[in-house]
Amino acid sequence: MDLSAINPVLLIASLMVAATPILLAAIGELVVEKAGVLNLGVEGMMIVGAISGFAITVESGSPWLGFLASAIGGALLSLLFVLLTQVALANQVASGLALTLFGLGFSSLMGQSYVGIKPPQMGKLDIPFLTDLPFIGPILFGHDPILYLGIALTAAVWALLKYTRVGLVLRAVGENHDAAHALGYKVVRIRIMAIMFGGACAGLGGAYISLIRVPQWTEGMTAGVGWIALALVVFASWKPWRALLGAYLFGGVTVVQLNLQAAGVAIPVEYLAMSPYLITIIVLVFLSRDKSGAPASLGRIFHATH
């Protein structure tokens, strides 16, 4: 056993990278759920984002265009969910699962000619002096731009929900759609925007995996990250900063357990791997005691009657 082999600076830096796809997807889903919609199709939107971003990056040579495309791809797929749940008033749980099934298949079809290709790389932030600072340099200033975008999005969503009218309306719609409707808010329109935002974020998260974290395209490469993102939203009790913290914790568990293994510590891997889920359940139990938890209208179908 050699714990000194673990470099805490690098550990923190790499858990930030591991956390980013989960964070991006979770922030999007958080907004969706705040608006009272439960979209279980995150995994499907992520994988479609992953291939959209990958394909456009390879074709255009620009990772920036790729990320843009991934957001558009994810949002377009979420439109299917919109059609089902907001227009056709179908059950959200079933629609979300169907979306994931469809997205996994669709992405494989799209990606058939992209297997085994190496995409152009996105440069890392490199600020002279700052990036070279000991300890905080690599942690704060040594990442790719999308990682910062994830943090910025977290801040933006937090500010939006807390301080703006849009946020207030969004929360009102999620808490009680009938009351919100009575107040004259366009419940369906607001939810559609939220779902598309969620789709775009999930798409970005997927592309982060296929363009930065791995980077390659293989079928089914998101390998369940979308489901972890769903868990994370609950873990965070629908609060953006807690989602950031939770993403680092979830990503951290993986990175730390790999670090411990490499350092020769005998750990029961499968039990560590289940720990994020168990922690989420425990957090849920504590949360459900105070009533500030889930948006009250979560998952319920809204139909305006006169």
Query: Where in 252-281 is the site for another protein (CB under 8 A)?
Result: 254-255, 258-259, 261-264, 266, 268-271, 273-274, 277-278, 280-281
Stretch that binds another protein, among 60-68, 97-105, 161-169, 241-249 (CB under 8 A): 97-105
Pick from 209, 243, 244, 247: which binds another protein (CB under 8 A)? 209
Q: Shortest gap between Cβ of 24 and another protein (angstroms)?
A: 13
Give the residue with the Cβ less far from another protein, 1 or 128: 1
Considering only residues 36 through 95, tell me which ones interact with another protein, judged by CB under 8 A: 38, 40, 80, 83-84, 87-91, 93-95
Pick from 234, 243, 244, 249: which binds another protein (CB under 8 A)? 234
Based on its alpha-carbon atoms, the radius of gyration of the chain, rounded to whole angstroms, reads 20
Stretch that binds another protein, among 62-70, 172-180, 196-204, 207-215 (CB under 8 A): 207-215
Please answer whether residues 207 and 52 qualify as being in contact, where contact means their C-beta atoms are separated by less than 8 angstroms. Answer: yes
Using CB under 8 A as the binding rule, whether residue 5 contacts another protein is answered as yes
- The token duo for 270 is 């499968």
- The token duo for 244 is 């950031």
Give the residue with the Cβ less far from another protein, 91 or 164: 91
Stretch that binds another protein, among 62-70, 157-165, 194-202, 228-236 (CB under 8 A): 228-236
Q: Shortest gap between Cβ of 242 and another protein (angstroms)?
A: 15
Please answer whether residues 42 and 226 qualify as being in contact, where contact means their C-beta atoms are separated by less than 8 angstroms. Answer: yes
**In sequence order, what DSSP letters do the residues of 194-258 get, joined into one string?**
HHHHHHHHHHHHHHIIIIIIS-S--TTTTTTHHHHHHHHHHHTTT-HHHHHHHHHHHHHHHHHHH
Binding-residue pattern over the window 153 to 192 for another protein, x denoting contact by CB under 8 A? -----------------------------------x----
Query: Residue 284 and residue 265: Cα distance in Å, rounded?
Result: 31
CA distances from 135 to 7, 55, 147, 268 (A): 10, 36, 18, 31
Considering only residues 285 through 304, tell me which ones interact with another protein, judged by CB under 8 A: 285, 287-289, 293-294, 299, 303-304
Q: Shortest gap between Cβ of 163 and another protein (angstroms)?
A: 27
The total number of residues shown for the chain amounts to 306
CA distances from 125 to 137, 142, 143 (A): 11, 5, 5
Please answer whether residues 297 and 32 qualify as being in contact, where contact means their C-beta atoms are separated by less than 8 angstroms. Answer: no
Stretch that binds another protein, among 106-114, 129-137, 169-177, 191-199 (CB under 8 A): 106-114
Q: Give kind and range of the element (H or E) at residue 104.
A: helix 92-110
Q: Shortest gap between Cβ of 84 and another protein (angstroms)?
A: 5
Q: Shortest gap between Cβ of 48 and another protein (angstroms)?
A: 11
Please answer whether residues 48 and 103 qualify as being in contact, where contact means their C-beta atoms are separated by less than 8 angstroms. Answer: yes
Pick from 16, 69, 99, 196: which binds another protein (CB under 8 A)? 99
